Amino acid sequence: MGNRSSLLLRAEEIAQIQEETGFTSNQIERLYSRFTSLDRGDCGTLSREDFLRIPELAINPLGDRIVHAFFQEGCGDRVNFLQFMQVLAHFRPIKKNKDNKLNSREQKLKFAFKMYDLDSDDRISRDELLAILHMMVGANISEEQLTSIAERTILEADQDGDQMISFEEFCKALERTDVEQKMSIRFLN
């Protein structure tokens, strides 16, 4: 039933994942167990539907955007364990003097930026911002208020006057935000 606990990771696979992601071998083994429990087809990969069975994602207003992040950069319609771990690495807390490239402040900001950049054109438009706000608050705020928030955000963040937010402008707008803390999840050891 999707749980292939008999199929274990080899030591060299664990070492590679540790090197690339910064997770400990214990964390990797626990996450592998979770990964295999989600793999209903026993094929060693997860589909979008597999991810949407995670209760925390199913109730998250940005769940679809988060799932979308796992399927970036030409990985097709399935994600293997290494790809799964590479995305999760963005959410590892940053440790002083011991970090990899996947969970640096810049990588966390790039990941967050992609959540807002719905059409992947490397810019966030007013309409994209409005769409994300709709996902986050639904009908709890009036359309006029949401439009006002989106327009004010663009006005404050847009430094070159193109009515869009570039990645550089996004970083500047979040300069004083503790992104490292806000985009970190404690993974059990």
* pLDDT of 15 over the 70 cut: yes
Q: Are the CB atoms for 139 and 155 separated by under 8 Å?
A: no
Which residue is it, tokens 């994600």? 79
CATH code matching the domain that covers 11-96, chosen among 3.40.50.300, 1.10.10.10, 3.90.25.10, 1.10.238.10: 1.10.238.10
- Residue-wise pLDDT for 83-94, tens only, equals 899 888 888 887
Domain-wise residue ranges, the chain: 11-96, 104-181
Give the C-alpha separation, 41 to 125, whole Å: 38
The secondary structure element, H or E, covering residue 164 is strand 164-166
5 or 189, higher pLDDT = 189
Fold of 104-181: Recoverin; domain 1 (1.10.238)
Q: Is the dihedral angle over the CA atoms 56, 61, 67, 69 positive or is it negative? A: negative
Q: Are 27 and 88 in contact (CB under 8 A)?
A: no
Domains 11-96 and 104-181 share a fold: yes
CB atoms within 10 A of CB 8: 13
Q: What is the pLDDT of residue 64?
A: 85
Asked if residue 76 has pLDDT above 80, the reply is no
Rounded to two decimals, what is the model's pTM? 0.78
pLDDT tens digits for 101-135? 667 888 889 989 999 999 999 999 999 999 999 99
- Over range 6-15, report the average pLDDT: 80
Q: Round to whole Å and give the CA distance between 94 and 170.
A: 20
Q: How far is CA 166 from CA 7, 67, 113, 114, 115, in A?
A: 44, 23, 9, 11, 13
Number of C-beta neighbours around residue 156 at 10 A: 11
Residues 29-50, mean pLDDT to the nearest whole number: 87
Q: What confidence tens digit (pLDDT) does each residue in 51-63 have?
A: 888 888 888 888 8
List pLDDT tens digits, range 127-180.
Answer: 999 999 999 887 788 999 999 999 999 999 999 999 999 999 999 999 999 887
The residue-averaged pLDDT of 69-91 equals 83
pLDDT attached to residue 124: 97
CA distance 145 to 43: 46
Strand 123-125 vs strand 45-46: parallel, antiparallel, or unpaired? unpaired
